[in-house]
């Protein structure tokens, strides 16, 4: 699995800590981690709005399989990611959230709080969240006897989201403020992850037109 980690400006100083915990948690499973922004204060300014654009580009182009995002409370990141087609983002404050999202909703992104409640042993909580998010099979249901209706409802929700977003994915991006999108794709580590792994020529051409 290819996993992208992205954090916005207010929590950029915690990037190294979260990256270390993510790498530690997924190393036994041979997952690849791409740290696409922000890395301390060295990157250009990203808000949680940019994170949604970045996540959608990476997921819809199959550049990565999963996105770990976050902001101060996690709420803004969750709403921003879920505003885009092809992104199903859950809100994770503790390991049980990650486990239940993994088994019941089987989405492709999580949003975490990197300020609210981020106190003593916060790095351990992050690691345990990642262990539950990325270990074992997904979509098995919880409790297991509820698997069939849970899988069915997750599929229905995806269909509802697709129905409310009838324009093509690229049309939606092009309808946004293009400076907003340009900022989202400007980071060198984002570009490396995207261009090295992208499987959608149309999305690639659009991103190249911005940079």
Q: Per-residue pLDDT for the chain (211 aa), expressed as one digit of tens each?
A: 999 999 999 999 999 999 999 999 999 999 999 999 888 766 778 999 999 999 999 999 999 999 999 999 999 999 999 999 999 999 999 999 999 999 999 999 999 999 999 999 999 999 999 999 998 889 999 998 999 999 899 889 888 888 878 778 999 999 999 999 999 999 999 999 999 999 999 999 999 999 9
Q: How far apart are CA 63 and CA 176, in angstroms?
A: 22
> Residue 90 pairs with which residues in a beta bridge?
110
Contacts of the segment 176-181: beta carbons below 8 A, 24+ positions apart? 176/53, 178/210, 180/49, 180/50, 180/53, 181/53, 181/210
The CATH number linked to 60 is 3.40.1400.10
What is the β-pairing status of strands 109-113 and 2-7? unpaired
Contacts of the segment 89-96: beta carbons below 8 A, 24+ positions apart? 89/55, 92/129, 92/133, 93/117, 94/125, 94/128, 94/129, 95/125, 95/128, 95/129, 95/131, 95/132, 96/132
Q: How far is CA 10 from the centre of its chain?
A: 17
The tally of domains found in the chain comes to 1
Domain, as residue range, for 52: 2-210
Q: How far apart are CA 105 and CA 159, in angstroms?
A: 14
Please choose, from the candidates 82, 94, 70, 56, the residue with its C-alpha nearest in 3D space to the C-alpha of residue 10.
70
Neighbours of 24 (CB within 10 A): 14
Tell me if 112 sits within 8 A of 74, measured CB to CB: yes
pTM over 0.85: yes
Please choose, from the candidates 35, 84, 61, 59, the residue with its C-alpha nearest in 3D space to the C-alpha of residue 187.
35
Looking at residue 158, its pLDDT comes to: 86
């Amino acid at each position: 699995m290819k996993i992208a980690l992205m954090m916005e400006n207010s929590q950029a100083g915690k990037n190294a800590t979260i990256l270390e915990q993510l790498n530690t948690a997924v190393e036994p499973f041979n997952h690849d981690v791409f740290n696409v922004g922000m890395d301390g204060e060295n990157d250009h300014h990203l808000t949680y709005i940019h994170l949604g654009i970045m996540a959608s580009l990476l997921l819809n182009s199959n550049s990565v399989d999963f996105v770990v995002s976050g902001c101060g409370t996690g709420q803004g990141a969750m709403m921003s990611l879920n505003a885009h087609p092809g992104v199903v983002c859950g809100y994770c404050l503790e390991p049980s959230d990650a486990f239940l999202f993994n088994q019941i909703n089987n989405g492709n992104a999580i949003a975490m709080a990197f300020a609210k409640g981020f106190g003593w042993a916060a790095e351990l909580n992050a690691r345990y969240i990642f262990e539950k998010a990325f270990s074992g099979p997904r979509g098995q249901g919880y409790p297991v006897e509820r698997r069939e209706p849970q899988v069915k409802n997750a599929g229905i929700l995806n269909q509802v989201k697709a129905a409310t977003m009838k324009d093509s994915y690229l049309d939606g991006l092009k309808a946004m403020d293009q400076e907003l999108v340009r900022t989202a794709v400007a980071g060198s580590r984002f570009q490396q992850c995207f261009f090295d792994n992208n499987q959608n020529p149309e999305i690639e051409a659009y991103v190249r037109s911005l940079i």
